[in-house]
Structure 1
Amino acid sequence: MSQARTAIDLLAKYAVYHRDQRNIATHFVGVPMIVFGIGVLLARARVDIGDVTVSAAWVAFALSAVWYLTRRGAFTLSLAVTAATGVIILAAHAVSRGSVGAWLAWGLGTFIIGWIIQFIGHYYEGRKPAFVDDLVGLLVGPMFVTAEALFALGWNKPLHAEIERRAGPTHLRNLVSI
């Protein structure tokens, strides 16, 4: 049985696709919007288990939380991304209770706009999104955004330095030469 990739390995591989500062900035908006949109769309799929109603959004959250919390090497980051995702899913449930039209508008709207923002960022980057080469990148995205937010606050400078050692420093790609 193969061993799970560590948080640092996942983040460094993802970071290779995300060195342009404008691309990283778009991810701060696009990734949460995508997670929110998925949460909204899955919130209406529910099943009653005894006296408890569980939505597909909470099941997806639980599965992703287990995945984050089992990545070795950055437990604090795993807790932070799990908490942030949980807040997003909680908010997604709140807007999913509206009319069918509102539910679809919020769910599909934020999902599609989030992806448009992501692809704008990857234009600046000059590279395809990481998930194209590795679907796990879809899970690493929220972890990367959370890590970048925490790095901006001064958290875990050694982890940040190791990611930059492996992926290179951030920059602004010159678009004039394109």
Structure 2
Amino acid sequence: MRNLEQHLVQYAMYHRDKRNIKTHLIGVPLIVFAVIMMAYVPIFELSGLTVTLAMLLITLAGGYYFFLSPTIGLMMVAILILGYAGVLLIHQGMSSGMSTNWMFYGFGGGLFIIGWIIQFIGHYFEGKKPAFVDDLIGLLIGPLFVLTEILFKFGFLKSLEDKIIGQAGACRN
């Protein structure tokens, strides 16, 4: 099983164009938020708490992220929980009938499509296919890549950034 560095190096090899990385800073969060939104489907009740598919996905993804890196994993879990809270607020704001469900999930679907359009524009600049085409785990690593890119911009995780650049190469304009 690959570690965090190996996953990020593999993902980075498909993302060396700065324009592509910039599109990912927008597209990936949109897609993640849309997935949380579309997975906001009640599954069962547990002591008065409605457990949704989104909660289960966040728990599973969060556990995997925590396994790869406790620190970055906790950051990702916090971000996912914030996304879930946002979805909850949107759902509560729209909850007034059956047609609202169609609007809610339609909005999530729209965000999902927009996020992927932005992603594919980035890969047009890159001249390479998305990482998940060769390895589906790339769908889970994308959000980690975005988070670490943001952390790199603020001067954090310099050693990890250097290792990724050393193996995947420097970014180009």
Q: State the TM-score, normalizing by the size of structure 2.
A: 0.92
Q: Who is 2:4 aligned against?
A: 7
Kindly state the Cα deviation for residue 136 of structure 1 after the two structures are TM-superposed. 0.3
Kindly state the Cα deviation for residue 6 of structure 1 after the two structures are TM-superposed. 0.5
1:42 matched to 2:44? The reply is: no
Instruction: Give the percent of matched residue pairs that are identical in Structure 1 and Structure 2.
Output: 41
1:75 matched to 2:76? The reply is: no
Secondary structure of 2:129's aligned partner: coil
Which of the pair is proportionally richer in helix? 2
Q: 2:83 aligns with which of 85, 88, 111?
A: 88
1:29 matched to 2:51? The reply is: no
**Residue type matched to 1:49 in 2?**
L
Indicate conservation of the 8 Å contact 1:45/1:56, yes or no: yes
Task: Give unpaired runs (5+ residues) of structure 2.
Answer: 95-99
Kindly state the Cα deviation for residue 10 of structure 1 after the two structures are TM-superposed. 0.3
Q: Who is 1:18 aligned against?
A: 15
1:161 matched to 2:156? The reply is: no
- Residue by residue, what CA displacement relative to the aligned partner does 1:106-139 show, whole Å, maximum 9, x if unpaired? 2101111000000000000000000000000000
Count of residue correspondences: 167
Deviates more, 1:131-140 or 1:94-103: 94-103
Indicate conservation of the 8 Å contact 2:43/2:52, yes or no: yes
CA distance in 2, matches of 1:158, 1:83: 23
Task: Give unpaired runs (5+ residues) of structure 1.
Answer: 173-178
Q: Who is 1:134 aligned against?
A: 135
CA distance in 2, matches of 1:28, 1:85: 15
CA distance in 1, matches of 2:124, 2:19: 10
CA distance in 2, matches of 1:115, 1:107: 12
Secondary structure of 1:11's aligned partner: helix
Q: Who is 2:97 aligned against?
A: none
Kindly state the Cα deviation for residue 84 of structure 1 after the two structures are TM-superposed. 1.4
Secondary structure of 1:43's aligned partner: coil
**Residue type matched to 1:55 in 2?**
T
Superposed, 1:89-104 pairs within 5 Å as 89-97=84-92, 98=94, 99-104=100-105
What is the RMSD computed on CA atoms of the aligned residues?
1.2
Superposed, 1:115-126 pairs within 5 Å as 115-126=116-127
